[in-house]
Structure 1
Amino acid sequence: MKASSSSTALLTTSPKSLSLGVIGNIGNIDAYISAVNRLPMLSQEEEISLAKRLRDNNDLAAAQSLVLSHLRLVVSIARGYLGYGLPHADLIQEGNIGLMKAVKRFDPDQGVRLVSYAMHWIKAEIHEYILKNWRLVKVATTKAQRKLFFNLRSQKEGLDAMTPAQVEAMSKSLNVKKEEVVEMEMRMSGRDIALEAPSDDDDETFAPIAYLSSDANEPSKVLEAQQYDRLQSEGLEAALGKLDPRSRRIVEARWLANDDGSGATLHDLADEFGVSAERIRQIESVALKKMKGALAEYV
């Protein structure tokens, strides 16, 4: 069927506004369901006649009649997906879009009733909506994963993890690998977690945002840590190598003997070398200046 302004209007018109002229301004989902269940069904002859008017003359009024007479089908199909925790009204809305797509593509000469043809389109739109909104991260992306998701969701009993025997039985039932069943079950059992904590006054509330971000992983911090490690290993050894044995002994005894910095005193080293404490201080000062210059190329 060629696209036209009238057939395009069928898909750009919301299901609610499409039915306002017949079932009135519906204020809640229960009233809507009650109203669409009172809409008359079409006979096969009426359905074929309307479908030909839409195909041959782009008759939007005929399309509206076809859609309205099948709204109860959408309600029935959408009710089967309430277990996914999504609003019933939204499921119906998406199903109505699928119904309108089916009406637009329906060929009355194929000898198939619209109800049989439309079920595929209705379910396809509802499936797409569920996969987009059931989790922030999609649980199924390929066609095989989507099929496994809905089959597993409908056949799995309860919320408990499946036993190996149940996994094997499910894999045989769905004709898929056991590993695929286990992986999909893990995806389905995951839940969304808010990155930020709720807005309350509880200072002890922690959220993932508090520990997902770490300053240690910032490029500048990583580079700084690498430079420090190089300074501690290569640089320090090179700087000590430029000192004479006595100066090196004094520096190591004073600053490198213990990790807590509690090295030998000036008087201890004065007794060791038989000089005054002041002389030890002078040697230490000259040695540290020499080391500082040697370490400059590592900073």
Structure 2
Amino acid sequence: MPKSKHSKKDKLLGSPVKKLEPQPPAVPESLADPLEPGESWETLSPEERSPIRSYLDQIGKTPLLTLEQETALARRVLKGDEAARQQMIQANLRLVVRIAKDYDNFGLPLMDLISEGNFGLIKAVERFDPDKGGKLSTYAAWWIKQAIKRALASSGKTIRLPVHMVDRISQMRRIIAQLTKELEREPSNEEIALAMEIPIAKVVHMKSVANRAASLDQPVGEEGESTLGDLVKDESARTPFENLRGKSDVSEINELLARLDPREAEVITLRFGLSGESPLTLEEIGEKFKLTRERVRQLQQGALMQLRRIMTERQKLLTPEDVRKNKLADARAEVLSEFFRSKGAKIPTRPNREGL
């Protein structure tokens, strides 16, 4: 049976699929409205309400499928029919929204949960066999939930701060940045407390809570435009990948990236300019994939952690002595050496060379 020719790197990241030809009349089902009975849009935050409403207005234009239509389309999908695949995805996007709402307030914005769930829906549509019995909605629910759970598990946010605390920490961040600029040094707790008009003990407590309960990837601010990690993370720090040059290095990195999730690999490629293009910012990558800056940061972090694990496995085959004896190309050795050093191996730091 021929496989579908569509790419795994679908750009259905929270955006509606391009509309195809008009479809048969809709049938009334519970999925027609992703909100639960008696539920109101007022339960969503103002930041989420507008994009969610706009998104639902768009996907709501696509009629649902009857069981007969679903069966016929699914059989066409298994034969590689791209139009049928797109139509099935379109007709079930509301299912993703309904499921995603069950996982809201677990650490990711609702639109990001929907984007992740859409990936699960795509996989379900590609694998669904109507002749085995059951409906796509039942089959797809598992894939959608798995995609969302995986995103939550990799987000690094096992504990969320109360909303009021997040707002206060956001305010503290802005004041720290302002004072740092004015004083040309990091402000003391006393200076922060004076500027915020709160007790010093409150400042100490807020810093403690932020460090103890929140991931550095926790979004702060009314629009989630930054994270607590912005307070301590050095955005200018270079990674081994930013130092790579030459064809041999490209081969090495491509081998590593091939072991990552396709989307994580693309994020790393764009972030560090591994394809020869200029590196993109988190915001630029987010715009490309229709994801928030926060989610792109999480994907980048997860990918780098996975690469570190991969390189750790290679320590069984390559020793620090191999590196010292120049059995690897300079740039490749630099990458390996950094990972060796991260695991406690004492490897001399190579002097910087022109072109590296």
TM, length-normalised to structure 1: 0.43
Q: Which protein shows a greater Rg?
A: 1
Higher relative contact order by CA 8 Å / sep ≥ 6: 1 or 2? 2
Please state which structure has a larger fraction of its residues in helix.
1
TM, length-normalised to structure 2: 0.37
